[in-house]
Amino acid sequence: MFIVNEDLAGGRADVEVTRRTGYSRSHVAAAMRSGAVSVNGEPAKPSRILEPGDRVVYAIDPPRILEVVAQAIPLDIVFEDETLLVVNKPAGMVTHPAHGAADSTLVNALLAHTGTLPGEPLRGGLIHRLDRDTSGLLVVAKTEAALTTLGRAMQKRYIEREYRGIVVGIPREPSGMIRGAIGRDPHNRLKYAIRADGKPAVTHFTLRTRLLDAAELTFRLETGRTHQIRVHLAALGYPIFNDPVYGKLDPRASLPGQALHAWHLAFKHPATKERLAFQADPPPAYVATLTALEP
């Protein structure tokens, strides 16, 4: 409990409670929406502006500590040796454990398959990630050396990644480049947006197939920001088909979410220096969506 003085007046309630508890702001905001914080005896929203003399009472449980457990979940392994593996992740699977998805993730399945993974436990072996409902290829390191080498290759943009995706509408140009820095959406912490203070992001696109008021495109990434393709295409006016966050769900799709698939991956093997290249066809639900949208 604390009383708001002149120095704290004008600030947001969630910001001050975050400072006092040491928890993340998202954890505090979620707790506040559940009624864990009151101001002058009334439940307070995270955006509540504090005034002098306000009596703030909070009782927030600490965030649950996540632990990664091995789970015997089937994996579609495209390539594997003693150094790394390439896996084709299904749509609907979260890449790594997080609050709200503590198990049944790709990392849980990988840990059961390999026994151990290098790096941070919650993201063991991961060089990059895919959104939950985006399917496709991921490279995973099995050794510390591979994790370091492939991580540097990703930072230097030496790893080639191409996606196939269906968008709403047909772009006027057959190809193009989208450049726009990406950061958290200030109005919705679950979304990202093009922002002047965001991290640089560049997406290249090429028209693959014209569909009925839609199109299939291929995307090549220069950067790997969270939700990058989805944010960039929505900003361009052609949101990814069936995207529940940056577009809207469409009854013609049987996909769990956005029609986006990481179909091509190429990189230099961290140990042998051999160039490896892999391709994975889109899943049946994606192909069925293409068929449903044929003109």
C-alpha span between 278 and 250 (Å, rounded)? 31
Beta strands 135-141; 260-268: pairing state: parallel
CB–CB of 167/241 below 8 Å?
yes
- Sequence spans of domains, the chain: 2-58, 77-292
Q: How many Cβ atoms sit within 10 Å of the Cβ of residue 35? A: 11
Amino acid (1-letter code) at residue 284: P
If you count DSSP H runs as helices and E runs as strands, how many of each does the chain have, helices first? 6, 15
Amino acid (1-letter code) at residue 112: A
Q: Let me know if 131 is a catalytic residue.
A: yes
C-alpha span between 45 and 38 (Å, rounded)? 9
Amino acid (1-letter code) at residue 94: V
- The DSSP output letter for 48 is P
Query: For position 121, what pLDDT does the model report?
Result: 83
Query: For position 26, what pLDDT does the model report?
Result: 79
| Region of 213 on the Ramachandran plot (φ > 0 left; ψ -120 to 50 alpha; else beta) | left
Helix or strand holding residue 147 (H, E): helix 144-155
Domain formed by 77-292, architecture: 2-Layer Sandwich (3.30)
Beta strands 42-43; 37-39: pairing state: antiparallel
Residues facing 277 on adjacent strands: 266
C-alpha span between 153 and 253 (Å, rounded)? 36
Dig out the tokens for 178 from the structure: 């989208």
> How does DSSP assign 88-124, residue by residue?
EEPTT--SS-BTTB-SSSHHHHHHHHHS---SSGGGT
Query: For position 135, what pLDDT does the model report?
Result: 98
C-alpha span between 150 and 144 (Å, rounded)? 10
Q: Which homologous superfamily does the CATH classification assign to the domain defined by 2-58?
A: RNA-binding S4 domain (3.10.290.10)
Angle at 105 (CA atoms; ends 283, 256), nearest 5 degrees:
40
> How do the pLDDT tens digits run along the chain, 295 residues long?
999 999 899 999 999 999 999 888 878 988 999 999 999 999 999 999 999 999 999 999 887 766 788 999 999 999 999 999 999 999 999 998 876 667 789 999 999 999 999 998 888 899 999 999 999 999 999 999 999 999 999 999 999 999 999 999 999 999 999 999 999 898 887 799 999 999 999 999 999 999 999 999 999 999 989 999 999 999 999 999 999 999 999 998 889 999 999 999 999 999 999 999 999 999 999 999 999 999 8
Which residue out of 54, 131, 243, 250 is catalytically annotated?
131
Query: For position 244, what pLDDT does the model report?
Result: 93
**Measured between alpha carbons, how far apart are the two ends of the chain, in Å?**
63
Residue pLDDT, tens place only, 101-119: 677 899 999 999 999 999 9
